[in-house]
Structure 1
Amino acid sequence: MKHHVKKIKYQTKKFMDFIDITEDVALFAKENKIQNGFLTIFINHTTAAIRINEREKGITKDFELFAKKLLPSKDYYHHNDLTIRTENLVCEPGASDCLNGHSHNLHLLMGGTSEHVPIIDGKLAFGTFQRIFLIELDCARPRSVTIQIIGE
């Protein structure tokens, strides 16, 4: 059984930036000559997600509108209230980039930390329209994705 790990860095551009990382993931599997096994794609952040879905602009726009309606960024979130928050305080005084309670809650609802894909006969076992997306749930920032492959 072989085991390979790679970390890939991406730069998101905006809230609800859907970055199709399918080709990067498939290339990593191909380079490592795995014929049968599985891979895991893991996002190393709590305000971004990894999801498998169809690449179609209507879907991404619908999801952005749904997210804004469900969890508006201007609503009150305890996470954003620095008069009561006592944990994981990494913001500079006056900085707003840590006031992202809506992004954390959206991540919790999506359950989007990782996806798993079988590799069968050297190919990712996707359905016809399935693609792997890194989805930005906050604002433009650097992101990293870890890919792990186990197989033969």
Structure 2
Amino acid sequence: MERYRDEEAFMQQHIETMEVATRGRDFIDVTAEIAHRLKAVRAGNGLLTLFIRHTSASLTIQENADPDVRHDLVNALDRLAPESAGYVHDIEGPDDMPAHIKTMLTDTHLAIPVSKGRMVLGTWQGIYVVEHRARPHQRDVVIHFAGEIGTG
């Protein structure tokens, strides 16, 4: 177990917004881009928080090795919240209310520990923006790092 002993260091924060272009219903891997941004601010030890500013797209940590997993997850979410369920809210189209339900089932934020500037993810884990709408969108993900900056 690492112990924090540097009395000179103190917690700092970095916050920025990353735009993610989606192609319609899909999982978009943003792991490498987030790692790049942590490196650019020289993140050390701390906590990374990600927040997507939308109600019809979400964030998740999922398998990054086999793309069939993400394909199956898209299909499973479609079965859980089908477009044909007769929703009252349909002002933005038949995929809108199912997208809200899918976001509720997944999440709009993630918290990931960072050690020595690297996200502490499992071997087969990646960070994904999940687009729940059928058409492409521009999605905003807020990246907030709290911890040591300028040490990584």
Give the root-mean-square deviation of aligned CA atoms. Answer: 1.5
Aligned partners of 1:33 and 1:10: how far apart in 2? 22
Aligned partners of 1:102 and 1:122: how far apart in 2? 37
TM-score of the pair, normalised by structure 2: 0.83
Q: Does 1:132 align with 2:142?
A: no
Q: Deviations over 1:16-60 (max 9, x none)?
A: x11110111111111111211011111010000110111221111
Q: Are 2:83 and 2:94, in contact at CA under 8 Å, matched by a contact in 1?
A: no
Q: Does 1:36 align with 2:45?
A: yes
Q: Are 1:79 and 1:99, in contact at CA under 8 Å, matched by a contact in 2?
A: no
Residue correspondences, number: 136
Structure 1 segments unaligned to the other structure (5+ residues): 83-95
Structure 2 segments unaligned to the other structure (5+ residues): 1-10
Q: Are 2:49 and 2:112, in contact at CA under 8 Å, matched by a contact in 1?
A: yes
Aligned partners of 2:95 and 2:111: how far apart in 1? 31
Q: Does 1:13 align with 2:8?
A: no
Percentage identity across aligned positions?
Answer: 30
Aligned partners of 2:118 and 2:142: how far apart in 1? 19
- Output the amino acid matched with 2:126: R
> What stretches of structure 1 move > 2 A for 4+ residues in a row?
96-99
Q: How do residues 20-59 of structure 1 correspond to structure 2 at under 5 angstroms? A: 20-55=29-64, 56-59=66-69
Partner of 2:86: 76
Q: Post-superposition shift, 1:98?
A: 7.7
3-state SS of paired residue (1:63): helix
